[in-house]
Structure 1
């Protein structure tokens, strides 16, 4: 004989479900509103994010100078100037060797094109000079027909470069102010917030700052491993410009997906021009293997240890961020996931029941 439903318990369960659903819907609406607001403020948020990431890199030497007794403004100025010199030196380390060997590379490109034409003219393709000329004429005609779209693309590219320069300048200024006034931020924040927030928000902010530092350090370690492995492979094969290519690989590690593709493409092209097709294929295989090991093994392991995230969470975060916001989403996915984990862990600490110490049972003989 089946038991009948209790009407009071059923109504209570429905009321609880409705209340929880309403609260979850309110949280979702609030989250969407926050994301929309961030999207509207993105020209300000993006330089702020870059400035914070740069500050995590430059804060250790600034802290060392502050401990040596230098004023905050002087310490921040010195570190900012040293950072700019290091960035300029990195660019020069890549550009100068490339410029010095540009003639050889240009000759290699011409020779490579000639070899490609000779190969295309032979079996099995048997493409004649007339067919190649017709293909070039057809390509030129298409370029002329799409001159308007090309001009629009060029204008868009110039606008993107200009916005990138403005963002970089703002990020550098923000980095300087963060370095100079960073230690005074949390005490100031405590004075501005009322009640419990004066304690909770500074603690969460300090933990988030440590998490961002762990992310940048882990990303730098991954880039260094990539640069060393790929640089050794290029050196073993006798590919020119090994040091600039290694530096480019390290720098590009901070830009997910596109950075690795760009650095790999440059290395393969230089190997093709200077050493031939066989070495270029070997370099391509080396880069693919290193990038696969880095993306699927090293990066999740290193970042999971430094950020307190499981390797699977890191992979899923990068995939989700890339699908939602492209390159920027891939770049920010892991630190955002780590910051969410920090906030969640703090909320769980505050909402959990405190562990009660076991009561001390006095001995029956009266001894302590």
Structure 2
């Protein structure tokens, strides 16, 4: 004989479900409003985020100088200037060798195009010069027809470059002030907040800073592994410009997805114009293997240990961030997930009941 449903318990369950659903909906609405406000303020928020990343990267040296008697302003100034010199040096390390061999690379590109035409003219394609000329004429006509969209794309690109320069300058100034006055922030924040917030928010902020520092260190380690393995592969194959390509790979590792694609494309192109198609395919295989190891092994393991996140959560966060906000979402997905975990762990600590005190009847309380 089956038991009958209790109307009282069913109504109570429905009321509880409705209340929880309404509260969850309210939380989602508030989150959507916060994201909308963040998007409206993105031109200010993005330099702030970049400045924080740069600060976590340069703070250990600043802290070392301050502990050895340097004044905060002097230590921040010296570290900022050193960072600029290193950035300029890295750019020169990449640009100067490429510029010195630009003539050889240009000749290689021309020879490569000629070889491709010879290969296309032979079997199995048997594409004649008249067909190639017709295809080129068609491409030129299409290019002329798209001149308006190309112009708008160029203008957009110039605007993007300008915005990038402005962001870099603002981030650099913010980095200087963070390095100079960063240790004063938490005491100042404690004095501004009332009641329990004066304890909770500074504690969460300190833990978030530690987590952000761990993210930057882990990302640098992943980039270093990429640069070492890809650089070693390029050196074995005999591709020129190994050191600039390795440096470019390391720097590009801080920009997920697009950075790896860009560095890999440059390496394959140089291998193609310098060593030929076979070596270019070998370099492409090396880059694919290393990038797969990075995305599926190195990055999840290293970041999961440094950030306290499971490797699967790192993969899910990167995929979700990329789908929601593209490259920027991929870049910020892991630190945002780690910061959410920090807040959740702190809230759970505050809401958890303290462990019961041991009693005389408890065997664990009796000393052995």
| Shared fold per TM-score greater than 0.5 | yes
Task: Measure the CA separation in 2 of the matches of 1:3 and 1:265.
Answer: 68
TM-score normalised by the chain length of structure 1: 0.96
Q: Tell whether 2:200 aligns with 1:170.
A: no
What secondary structure is seen at the aligned counterpart in 2 of 1:255?
Answer: coil
1:111 matched residue in structure 2? 111
What secondary structure is seen at the aligned counterpart in 1 of 2:254?
Answer: coil
Report Cα offsets for 1:37-96 as digits up to 9, x if no partner. 111111111111111111100000000011011111111111000000000000000000
2:308 matched residue in structure 1? 308
Task: Measure the CA separation in 2 of the matches of 1:18 and 1:283.
Answer: 58
Report Cα offsets for 1:303-349 as digits up to 9, x if no partner. 00000000000000000000000000000000000000000000000
Task: Measure the CA separation in 1 of the matches of 2:192 and 2:261.
Answer: 46
Task: Measure the CA separation in 2 of the matches of 1:361 and 1:8.
Answer: 41
1:200 matched residue in structure 2? 200
Quote how far apart the aligned CAs of 1:121 are: 1.1
Report Cα offsets for 1:273-331 as digits up to 9, x if no partner. 11011100000000000000110011000000000000000000000000000000000
TM-score normalised by the chain length of structure 2: 0.96
What secondary structure is seen at the aligned counterpart in 2 of 1:292?
Answer: helix
In structure 2, list runs of 5 or more residues that go unmatched: none
1:333 matched residue in structure 2? 333
Task: Measure the CA separation in 2 of the matches of 1:24 and 1:279.
Answer: 56
In structure 1, list runs of 5 or more residues that go unmatched: none
Task: Measure the CA separation in 2 of the matches of 1:306 and 1:102.
Answer: 41
Task: Measure the CA separation in 2 of the matches of 1:360 and 1:63.
Answer: 50
Quote how far apart the aligned CAs of 1:361 are: 5.6
Task: Measure the CA separation in 2 of the matches of 1:355 and 1:159.
Answer: 58
2:80 matched residue in structure 1? 80
Q: Tell whether 2:225 aligns with 1:231.
A: no
Question: Structure 1's 285 and 14: CA in aligned 2 closer, same or farther, altered over 3 A?
Answer: same
Question: Structure 1's 132 and 2: CA in aligned 2 closer, same or farther, altered over 3 A?
Answer: closer
1:181 matched residue in structure 2? 181
Task: Measure the CA separation in 1 of the matches of 2:234 and 2:259.
Answer: 18
Question: Structure 1's 193 and 362: CA in aligned 2 closer, same or farther, altered over 3 A?
Answer: closer
Task: Measure the CA separation in 2 of the matches of 1:93 and 1:53.
Answer: 23
What secondary structure is seen at the aligned counterpart in 2 of 1:359?
Answer: coil
2:142 matched residue in structure 1? 142
What secondary structure is seen at the aligned counterpart in 1 of 2:70?
Answer: coil
Q: How many corresponding residue pairs? A: 364
1:191 matched residue in structure 2? 191
1:319 matched residue in structure 2? 319
